[in-house]
Amino acid sequence: MRILLAEDDPLLGDGLRAGLRQLGFQVDWVRDGEAAERELRSEAYTAAVLDLGLPRQDGLDVLSAIRRSRITTPVLVLTARDAVFERIRGLDLGADDYVIKPVDLHELAARLRALVRRAHGQHQECLHAQSITLDPAARSVSQAGAPVTVSTREFDLLHALLLNAGRVLSREQLEQHLYSWGQEVDSNAIEVHIHNLRRKLGNGLIHTVRGVGYMLVRDAPNA
């Protein structure tokens, strides 16, 4: 999943970006509030990690602005401000979670997965469709209980489709989910990943909606 990290501390920001990438996240990192608001308005992020003490625009002002604009991206506030009234204000302005620095990297990743799960109406950690099970924490896929080997991109693509089961996602939406800044995207990359997933998981799981995009079908046609 692709997330936005808004953090002005260079050491902390670099460490969080590197650590979250190792845990399977695609991370775009900005260092000030104006850049954070601009990116949240222009890109389709799965979630955002937002520091409050940002230069040029305070994190709470960023949060307030995007919520007024009905941008529903799940936001985890990560800050050194530990006063109760600050936490209350952040949550009332639309934060989905609030974590005080320092934070354990694995806890941060788990909280991000939980935010995304709730935002898509999912109540369990693992995602299911037909005989397929995807575990976001373990980054594993199985079919009828048997493990299936998928690449990093194939996993991320399947994850995006499972989170939006029954909805059509365009190629552009899927590219936004899979690739962060600076990563080269081949013109047929999504089609290649879809082809590989169908070869490994069968043709009945992912449907092509001609001229629109792709949709994952949660239940088998004869279910």
pLDDT, tens digit, 9 for 90 and up, residues 33-86? 999 999 999 888 999 999 988 999 999 999 999 999 999 999 999 888 777 888
Phi, psi of 4 (to 5 degrees): -105, 130
Based on the number of CB atoms within 10 Å of its own CB, is 104 exposed (0-12), middle (13-18) or buried (19 or more)? exposed
How confident is residue 221, by pLDDT bands cut at 50, 70 and 90?
Answer: low
Token couple for 156: 């991320």
Helix (H, G, I), strand (E, B) or coil at 138: coil
Give the mean model confidence (pLDDT) for residues 185-205.
Answer: 89
Give the mean model confidence (pLDDT) for residues 88-98.
Answer: 89
CATH superfamily of 2-119: Response regulator (3.40.50.2300)
Question: What's the confidence (pLDDT) of residue 123?
Answer: 77
Give the mean model confidence (pLDDT) for residues 94-116.
Answer: 91
How confident is residue 223, by pLDDT bands cut at 50, 70 and 90?
Answer: very low
Run of H or E residues at 210:
none
Give yes or no for residue 118 having a pLDDT over 90.
no
Helix (H, G, I), strand (E, B) or coil at 30: strand
Domain locations along the chain: 2-119, 127-216
Q: What is the pLDDT of residues 137-190, one digit of tens each?
A: 899 999 999 999 999 989 999 999 999 888 999 988 888 888 776 566 677 888
Question: What's the confidence (pLDDT) of residue 51?
Answer: 92
Amino acid at 223: A
Omega before 102 within 30 of 0, i.e. cis: yes
Q: What is the pLDDT of residues 24-48, one digit of tens each?
A: 898 999 999 999 999 999 888 999 9
Question: What's the confidence (pLDDT) of residue 175?
Answer: 86
Give yes or no for residue 128 having a pLDDT over 60.
yes
Phi, psi of 134 (to 5 degrees): -120, 130
Helix (H, G, I), strand (E, B) or coil at 2: strand
How confident is residue 198, by pLDDT bands cut at 50, 70 and 90?
Answer: very high
d(CA 125, CA 136): 7
How confident is residue 5, by pLDDT bands cut at 50, 70 and 90?
Answer: very high
The CATH architecture annotation of domain 127-216 reads Orthogonal Bundle (1.10)
**Better-scored residue on pLDDT, 123 or 206:** 206
- Cβ–Cβ < 8 Å for 6, 60: no
